[in-house]
A = this chain, B = another copy of it.
């Protein structure tokens, strides 16, 4: 499952003329396997064991490359640092206001909204982002005891 995704991702890089380095391989692998939404620093720390000499700049550089190629989505919430998400299928995120947990939420998409927006504003609409905020079950039970 993940193997396919990784292969496809590497293929996509090759096609764009982006070189495949061990660091890039490892970052991609981490993004695919981690079911969370890590920050650049999370990734840096997680790969410290395998790559003791890797620079933080490398992580940032490659996340930018992956974003430009369209492999990765950058999520900017209110908190200090960006989070990065390997793009699989179209899905949204539900975020807990209390503990910050991020849960994936699949939804058909909001093409209708895009069309309306395009019509009203005259923009050539390309894409959109949406996040839903609330309290996760864990934090809900904690609050009401």
> A-side interface residues toward B, CB under 8 Å?
74, 76-78, 82, 92, 94, 96-97, 103, 105-107, 110, 113-114, 116-118, 120-137, 140
Partner among B114, B127, B134 whose Cβ is within 8 Å of the Cβ of A124: B134
Copies of this protein chain in the complex: 2
Extra contacts, 11 of them, besides A110-B113, A123-B137 (Cβ < 8 A), are A76-B78, A94-B117, A107-B113, A110-B110, A118-B134, A122-B137, A123-B136, A125-B133, A126-B134, A129-B130, A129-B131
CB-CB under 8 A from A136, the residues of chain B are 121-123
Closest B residue by C-beta to A77:
B76
**Does B123 contact A135, Cβ atoms closer than 8 Å?**
yes
Partner among B78, B97, B122, B125 whose Cβ is within 8 Å of the Cβ of A132: B125
CB-CB under 8 A from A78, the residues of chain B are 74, 76, 82
